Chains A and B, each alone.
Chain A
Amino acid sequence: MDTASPRHAKAAEAFLRDEENADWHNETLWFVRSKRDRAAQSLPEWEDLREQASQIKLHSLSKLDDYLIQLEENARQNGVIVHWAANADEHNRIVLDIMRKHKATKIVKSKSMLTEECHLNPYLIKEGIEVIDTDLGERIIQLRNEPPSHIVMPAIHLKKRHIGDLFHLHLGTDAGADDPQYLTEAARIHLRQKFLLADVAITGVNFAIAETGGFVVCTNEGNADLGAHLAKVHIACMGIEKVIPKAEHLGVFLRLLARSATGQATTTYSSHFRKPAPGQEMHLVLVDNGRTRQLASPDFRNSLKCIRCGACMNTCPVYRRSGGHSYHTAVAGPIGSILAPNIDMKEYADLPFASTLCGSCTNVCPVKIDIHQQLYKWRQVLGEAGAVEPTKKIGMTGMDVLFSHPRLYRFAGRAGRWFMQKFPSLANKSSLNPWAIHRDMPKPPAQSFRDWYAQQNQKDNG
């Protein structure tokens, strides 16, 4: 197979060129991570809660077929129309067919990473349908023709002046106005009209419950509810891994979700949809799109436990300093770097390398996914498949030779120290030494540890 392009590294480099913005991005996400810590510490049972969530998810995956059938049966009995989609194309076609059946032309959408993954918006827009994202952050990036850079905070890469300029252009707000309160009010008025006139509402699904045939959608803005209750048709789209057995399990997940995501005790609205309202129609689309393949892999199936809280992104030192867009996938950051290569190994081969493997993502994950271990595992899989970029491969081969030949290793150490002492400016030249990009080489020690150790031994014995 072809080797990976270092797209993440290149995009991260571009992101870091605006140093002020990069610092702000880093600090803002760390602030959210700190809020998460305080929220977690407010519950003495936090660690046990994570363990329960992890066990419930693993159980659900081990009976995924049964629970999906149960969900489908119960949903049908409740009057919900259930669809199955093998991949993104089928998912998009199902949504379009529903639109056509109702001669509908206007959609309001609430946040759904699945529809991002399936590229639903461009598909529907090409078919002449007006698609309006209604989450404020999603609407902002939609007006900018950009994908979200974070699954919970889609416009976290932008400053308020960017949004002020954008709204001035599209919503007619005052030029130069950048007060978040004022801009949010303008968006409210603009989007209220869209809610009132939409034919169809699309929402994601946070949790589907096999026992009741219902599903839960969590938002702070209330946009999912406004859309779904006002439109004649509500289409809810979910990945098949979102199903849990019983309603009582929601207590575990809802306590973890918002605390992990933003540090809130809960989202403002946690809505339980079960039956269509009189005169309305409700659809549930169950999407595979690579999930059964991930399930079949013992190394990577744990990633299907993910409840999309974004905590792993907020804590990741690489995500915070490279920006979500550098991941060039719908779900950025550590968890996205596990999920994306499963969908397209060639396209996303660079992502498992966009990690320090420090394990912070694993430590904050509310469902205890072994994220950094899976990233490490992906590197091995990609290495075996030949998907590692040439410079990395040459470097690794070189190190393999060096470390397996002690004399060569000792000689290289001496040569390196000599070179760095004689030609420090060359050693720090980033065109010759990629390690010196953005950092200076340390001052070389006078002698190696091995020489020093031998000397000490002599002193002690002599």
Chain B
Amino acid sequence: MAETTTRDTILAAIRQGKPDLHPLPETIGFAPTITPENLVEAFMAMVKTNGGQAIRVTSLSEAHAFLVQEYDLTLPILSHVPGLDISNFTPAAELRLLDDLHLVVLEGKVGVAENAAIWLDEAAIGIRALPFISLNLSLVLSEKNLVGNMHEAYRLIDTHTGFGTFIAGPSKTADIEQSLVIGAHGSKTLTVFLLP
């Protein structure tokens, strides 16, 4: 029972040494400074700052038309967005085969205007590796689901999902002489479609 002993020792040391109870702040977070009428504009500007592109569309077929133009849809494509049926790839149980994916399209639940982070939960992602392993990533988001800041986002999202993630742009790094390079390990591009 070595593990239990370590656990007890650590907990006992904490009880011995911890400071007196310090209360939590009465309210957590702040009201957003971005006004509701500026949400879309602010969000789209931040997507660009993050290295992605945001496109306002009126319907999924408009998004579809854009994807046809932008990507070779004969390459392995997977869409988990109902109504955007462009999948031509059936994932096998072997996760490493997902490495072939050219484009993955997923549905974002909430978008945050102040940083353009988009929340995806497990239900929307399906296989967890998808948004990270695909060469290109596209996210579909309703403008109704835009909020001003992260405090508002946490009120709307379900953090009791098995896995969920905020994605804000394509994968990037600046580890070589602080030069920003888009496309480190994850997707090299991010296209966000904003629906009404």
Residues of chain A having any CB pair with chain B under 8 Å: 28, 31-32, 43-45, 48-49, 51-52, 55-56, 58-59, 61-65, 68-69, 78, 83-86, 90, 134-137, 140, 153-156, 158-160, 163, 180-181, 183-185, 187-188, 191-192, 195-197, 209, 212, 214, 220-223, 225-226, 229-230, 240, 245, 247-252, 254-255, 262, 264-277, 286, 288, 292-293, 295-298, 301
Contact = CB atoms under 8 A, between A and B. Distances in A.
A32 B178 contact: yes
Contacts of A181: 179, 181
A230 B114 contact: no
29 contacts: A32-B178, A48-B30, A52-B28, A62-B20, A62-B21, A65-B14, A78-B162, A136-B176, A140-B175, A154-B175, A155-B176, A158-B177, A187-B184, A192-B99, A221-B171, A221-B184, A222-B132, A229-B127, A255-B149, A266-B116, A268-B169, A270-B117, A271-B164, A272-B161, A277-B163, A286-B10, A292-B10, A292-B13, A295-B19
A248 B28 contact: yes
A238 B34 CA distance: 35
Nearest to A42: B114
B175 A84 contact: no
Contacts of A48: 30
B175 A265 contact: no
A226 B133 contact: yes
B186 A225 contact: yes
**A-B pairs, 8 with minimum CB distance:** A296-B17, A222-B186, A137-B175, A292-B13, A265-B115, A221-B184, A275-B162, A229-B129
B95 A44 contact: no
B112 to A, nearest CB: 8
A209 B133 contact: no
Interface stretch (B73-81, B102-110, B150-158): B150-158
Given A44-B33, A136-B173, A184-B181, A90 B153 contact: no
Contacts, number: 261
Contacts of A58: 19, 22
Nearest to B181: A184
B160 A212 contact: yes
Interface residues of B toward A: which range? 35 or more
B171 A222 contact: yes
Contact of B16 (A180, A266, A296): A296
Given A83-B3, A180-B179, A248-B28, A230 B96 contact: yes
A188 B154 contact: no
A229 B95 contact: yes
Nearest to A253: B150
B6 interface: yes
A59 B28 CA distance: 13
Contacts of B168: 265-270
* Centre residue among A31, A51, A191, A222 by max chain B CB count within 10 A: A222
A249 to B, nearest CB: 6
Contact of A134 (B22, B25, B185): B185
Contacts of A183: 176
B178 A153 contact: yes
Contacts of B151: 248, 251-252
B150 A255 contact: yes
Given A272-B164, A295-B14, 11 more contacts: A65-B11, A155-B176, A180-B177, A181-B179, A196-B99, A222-B185, A225-B186, A250-B150, A254-B150, A255-B115, A268-B169
Nearest to A140: B175
Nearest to A267: B168
A269 B163 CA distance: 13
A196 B96 contact: yes
B36 to A, nearest CB: 18
A184 B95 contact: no
Contact of B10 (A84, A187, A247, A275): A84
Given A58-B19, A274-B163, A295-B14, A184 B25 contact: no
Nearest to B186: A222
Nearest to A255: B150
Interface of B: 3, 6-7, 9-11, 13-25, 28-30, 33, 46, 49-50, 95-96, 99, 112, 114-117, 127-129, 131-133, 149-151, 153-155, 159-179, 181, 183-187
* Centre residue among A183, A188, A245 by max chain B CB count within 10 A: A188
A134 B175 CA distance: 12
A247 B154 contact: yes
Contact of A185 (B6, B128, B131, B183): B183
Nearest to B190: A268
A55 B19 CA distance: 13
A113 B14 CA distance: 22
Contacts of A209: 159
A11 to B, nearest CB: 22
A265 B183 contact: no
Contact of A59 (B23, B128, B162): B23
* Centre residue among B15, B127, B154 by max chain A CB count within 10 A: B154
A62 B19 CA distance: 5
Nearest to A301: B19
Nearest to B179: A180
Given A268-B186, A277-B163, A64 B18 contact: yes
Contacts of B181: 180-181, 184
B162 A160 contact: no
A159 B49 CA distance: 26
Nearest to B162: A275
A165 to B, nearest CB: 12
Contacts of A55: 22, 24-25
Nearest to B30: A45
B166 A269 contact: yes
